[in-house]
Structure 1
């Protein structure tokens, strides 16, 4: 992180920096405590040359009035920014509802339900097939039985 010297902060307080440098210095104050300390030192040294407020309460009232004006401007959308009808939410809901009704009455959903039930329950054959595990167990027992028979025949 680049830190600014005390002299740079003193120039900032004296208003002897260009706009780009001013923005850079101001944004740096948010993240650097060391430079904030330099700025406060420069401000306290040069405090006597800064302009004085004649009436603190009237200054606060003026600032608050400007803030409330800005809030009103943000809250009120301009009439020119009104969206065309095809970009409004109600229009999209209307199109979706119309498409749903059309598909329902044309029978598309019914045919999809029939297809889904056919896919869901496949018909391999009428007889029930054993699982792979059961088949492996059956073959293992058959093999063991054949081994026992061979042992019995040898005796």
Structure 2
């Protein structure tokens, strides 16, 4: 992971980098706590060059008014879309989808598909239990002990 320097974060805070680089820096900022600390230091150091709000409450009110306007425009377009699409065909309605899912479930239940799936899953489970092989570590230990035993036998035969 590439970490950004303090100077690079200052450039970011001062808006002196290109769009693609800015996007990379922002994505990195979401994932790196170390760079977040450096970024916060750069913001604190550059705080004096940021614009000062003379009246914070009026600024907040202006922002909220703009947000309300945008939400009103969005809700107006949604209302217009609902008016134009008032009557949906039956196959696009949620109730039809629920009925179709219920019918498929009943059909699969009565044909025994779920039972055969359960039997198949059970057979797979029992095969895995029966085919229990020793772990690689156990195999290495067994081979080592067998080798040591053969060395002991050779030493005993020499005496």
TM-score, structure 2 length as denominator? 0.48
Larger radius of gyration: 1
